[in-house]
């Protein structure tokens, strides 16, 4: 399993500030906790499938900052093809989710498959974790993995969108997602990063991919540290504990050549 998480989503998504940034962070944090295991359950489990899924959900959710369409939904009123046969159905069953679920009939269908009463409680579809599962159900029902395996961003977009709206942005996001997943996959396939002599000295206040590499190594060794590319106090404590475990001197929470070498050795011991 490729261990995609909130950090992977952040590498793909644009950056927002203020209320938009807060909402984006809430969605990404919630979804990130269950992302890898949920996608695995739906066989969205290789680099191309994951990259296309991240790109499309990122675009459809306006950069992971909403799980509910901005429009009122009034445009869907009376749409019998969506099952909107009662007054008010257009607004009630407006688009919700990472890939927007729209219309009474679709809410009923997906709710039945997920064993959630979405027809009577359509607002639940906007809950971040459930919105991920809804997106995966759509992905599975429409056989999108096949288009991902062909790396056909146009076809994936047509299935998701019904056309090619936003294709340029979806292409850009797909490229970013491929790079993010490739870096993550590379950590697994190559034992994380290059030889220790080529790595920078890391300490509290450091940031970037090298810190993420370090954090993933520590997690693989059982240290409960967040992978956020930010060398904060939690990472410093984990490094010091690792240094103590390996009888390194000094135990200072700083990652220099000796600590990198010990991390290499610990990886090889596993």
Catalogue all structural domains in the chain, each as residue range(s) with its CATH number: 6-189 (1.10.530.10), 194-269 (1.10.101.10)
Q: What is the pLDDT of residue 185?
A: 63
Give yes or no for residue 149 having a pLDDT over 60: yes
What's the rounded Cα separation, in Å, for the pair 174 and 267? 32
What's the rounded Cα separation, in Å, for the pair 28 and 15? 12
Could you tell me the pTM of the whole model?
0.69
* Structural tokens at position 171: 């292409």
Q: Give the relative orientation of helices 18-32 and 128-141 as an angle to the nearest 10 degrees.
A: 60
Q: What is the pLDDT of residue 204?
A: 85
Which residues, at least 6 apart from 269, have a Cβ–Cβ distance to it below 8 Å? Answer: none
Give yes or no for residue 47 having a pLDDT over 50: yes
């Amino acid at each position: 399993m490729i261990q995609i998480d909130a950090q992977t989503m952040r590498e793909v998504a644009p950056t927002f500030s203020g209320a938009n940034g807060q909402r984006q962070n809430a969605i990404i944090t919630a979804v990130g906790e269950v992302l890898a295991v949920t996608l695995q359950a739906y066989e969205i489990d290789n680099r191309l499938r994951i990259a296309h899924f991240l790109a499309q959900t990122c675009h459809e959710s306006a950069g992971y900052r909403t799980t509910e369409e901005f429009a009122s939904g009034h445009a869907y009123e009376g749409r019998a093809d969506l099952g909107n046969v009662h007054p008010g159905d257009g607004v009630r069953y407006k688009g919700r989710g990472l890939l927007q679920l729209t219309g009474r009939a679709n809410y009923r269908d997906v709710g039945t498959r997920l064993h959630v009463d979405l027809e009577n409680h359509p607002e639940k579809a906007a809950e971040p974790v459930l919105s991920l599962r809804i997106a995966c159900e759509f992905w599975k029902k429409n056989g999108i993995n096949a288009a991902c395996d062909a790396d056909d961003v146009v076809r994936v977009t047509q299935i998701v969108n019904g056309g090619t709206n936003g294709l340029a942005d979806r292409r850009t996001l797909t490229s970013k997602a491929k790079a993010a997943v490739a870096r993550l996959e590379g950590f697994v396939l190559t034992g994380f990063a290059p030889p220790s002599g080529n790595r920078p000295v890391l300490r509290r206040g450091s940031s970037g991919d090298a810190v993420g590499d370090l954090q993933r190594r520590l997690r693989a060794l059982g240290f409960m540290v967040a992978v956020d590319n930010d060398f904060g106090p939690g990472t410093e404590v984990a490094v010091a504990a690792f240094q103590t475990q390996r009888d390194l001197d000094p135990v200072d929470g700083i990652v220099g050549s000796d600590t990198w070498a010990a991390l290499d050795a610990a990886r090889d011991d596993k």
